[in-house]
Amino acid sequence: MDEAGCGGCQVISAEQRSSKHWELTGEGCEIAEQGSHEARVFSSIPDEGMPQGQLMKLAFGKVGFSKAMSNKWIRLDKGHEGGPRVFRTVENIEDSVRDKLLVVQKGQSSQLEEKEKSELKKRKLLSEVTVKSYWITKGSLFSTTITKQETELTPEMIASGSWKEKKFKPYNFEAMGVAPDCGHLHPLMKVRTQFRQIFLEMGFTEMPTNNFIESSFWNFDSLFQPQQHPARDQHDTFFLSDPAQAHEFPLDYLERVRKVHSEGGFGSQGYKYDWKIEEAQKNILRTHTTAVSARMLYKLAQKEKFTPVKYFSIDRVFRNETLDATHLAEFHQIEGVVADYGLTLGDLMGILHQFFTKLGITKLRFKPAYNPYTEPSMEVFSYHEGLKKWVEVGNSGVFRPEMLLPMGLPEGVTVIAWGLSLERPTMIKYGINNIRELVGHKVNLQMVYDSPVCRLDA
């Protein structure tokens, strides 16, 4: 039921009805009256036949001729003296086309089969007509006087009180509203804000990661990452040509790092290779924010008395890797670090459990992994309900003594840490498969405009 007068005012109500019936076309009417073209051709031909040329001159000649031929009512003698001549081949004919049309004309189209009707429709003799009609009845607010409906409330109506007498045009609540004229935050940055919030809630202090360019020393050597490690390859790391080298290091610490790599010490055999300062001096775009963690832990170790710390950072890191749908040359690394006396592997797993619970992830598993600066090293997996499998969500580990002791941290202090990328959870959260649709200048701004608020635990 539609409500007439649009919307809900119900002066009258109207029901739409539609019906279909068959009607003769102009040509159909002519045939009903005078017979089909082929019948008219037949009857025009006398017993002695008729020259084809003459037949074709008749109005119905062309169409009638071919139909009559295919009905085998007539024949054409091409070799006849004086030109091609047409003769009758049968005595009587039955003009079924006309008969059928007459049936329709009488309003008895239902007697014909659908196939016959569509055949006639194809010959443009019949057409199907749909008639729409409305069945009108009085509505609930039926009135015989007409009042003009107001579209909107105006200040004048409020002042005069005239709104009380007015009728207002109803709103169409099916339509969308007008989008507010406002700016939008980028979805990846919204997720970053949430991760920051989580760390702050857990009592972690933010590290100063605003130094994209780092020396190999802080990025690798201080982390006990040997100088021939594949990560230090041209294929994996962006090296700088200008400024190519770092020139200031805490020299006594640098010496302890050289020694632990090349000769061992602090309970370690070391890697036993020829450690070169030239390698350590090479400037790079940092490959992980752990370079900053190393600087912070070194700074912590220089304090007179050790105080426990919890640090975090979320910032860009750079890899000279092969790019694909999920890898870019730069991405954001999320990192958490805790330094205190007597921390255990169980503590690391416990704190990861708390951290991931805040992200709405409660099922965690840990898998052994290898990382040059943590021992043990564990990959963190979480069970993804949507994908129905365990997916890697981060990396974690306990910093090696060969990294911590040369810095000057007390022997009993353990440092646990974990890291993950910001992009990956964001892509999973927003259902984005190609990282280029999320990060960089090629993103579709509509995606930014349309992105919802970020609640990681929801």
323 contacts 354 by C-beta, under 8 angstroms = no
Q: Does 434 bind other proteins (CB under 8 A)?
A: no
- Token duo for residue 61: 């000649």
311 contacts 266 by C-beta, under 8 angstroms = no
Place of tokens 């036949």: 49
381 contacts 391 by C-beta, under 8 angstroms = yes
Antiparallel, parallel or unpaired: β 374-384 and 389-399: antiparallel
Q: Does 121 bind other proteins (CB under 8 A)?
A: no
Closest residue by Cα to residue 404 from 396, 395, 393, 415: 415
CA angle 45, 48, 50 (to 5 degrees): 45
Q: Binding other proteins by CB under 8 A: which of 76, 102, 349, 428?
A: 349
Q: Binding other proteins by CB under 8 A: which of 330, 358, 359, 437?
A: 330
Instruction: Choose one: 8-16, 106-114, 145-153, 212-220; the region binding other proteins (CB under 8 A).
Output: 212-220
Residue 233: half-sphere exposure toward Cβ, Cα within 13 Å: 6
Closer to other proteins by Cβ: residue 248 or 304: 248
Q: Does 123 bind other proteins (CB under 8 A)?
A: no
CB of 183 to other proteins, least distance (A): 4
Instruction: Choose one: 33-41, 127-135, 157-165, 367-375; the region binding other proteins (CB under 8 A).
Output: 367-375
Applying the rule CB under 8 A, the residues between 153 and 192 that interact with other proteins are 181-186, 188-189
Instruction: Choose one: 15-23, 29-37, 134-142, 350-358; the region binding other proteins (CB under 8 A).
Output: 350-358
CB of 457 to other proteins, least distance (A): 19
What's the DSSP call for residue 232? G
Q: Binding other proteins by CB under 8 A: which of 42, 60, 199, 355?
A: 199
Phi, psi of 258 (to 5 degrees): -55, -45
Range list of β-strands (E), 306-424: 309-318, 330-341, 364-371, 374-384, 389-399, 413-421
Q: Does 346 bind other proteins (CB under 8 A)?
A: yes
Applying the rule CB under 8 A, the residues between 291 and 320 that interact with other proteins are 308-310, 316, 318, 320
Closest residue by Cα to residue 103 from 125, 70, 72: 125
Written as one string, the DSSP assignment of 407-438 is: HT--TTEEEEEEEEESHHHHHHHHT---GGGT
Q: Does 401 bind other proteins (CB under 8 A)?
A: yes
Closer to other proteins by Cβ: residue 44 or 320: 320
Closer to other proteins by Cβ: residue 148 or 388: 388
Distance, in Å, from the CA atom of 187 to the CA atom of 454, rounded to the nearest integer, reads 8
Instruction: Please state, as a whole number, how many other Cβ atoms lie within 10 Å of the Cβ of residue 316.
Output: 15
Applying the rule CB under 8 A, the residues between 229 and 248 that interact with other proteins are 230, 234, 238-248
Applying the rule CB under 8 A, the residues between 375 and 394 that interact with other proteins are 375-378, 381, 389-390
Instruction: Choose one: 18-26, 61-69, 91-99, 372-380; the region binding other proteins (CB under 8 A).
Output: 372-380
CB of 32 to other proteins, least distance (A): 58
Total interface residues for other proteins by CB under 8 A? 101
Q: Does 407 bind other proteins (CB under 8 A)?
A: no
Closer to other proteins by Cβ: residue 167 or 235: 235
CA angle 7, 10, 12 (to 5 degrees): 120
Applying the rule CB under 8 A, the residues between 249 and 268 that interact with other proteins are 249, 264, 267-268
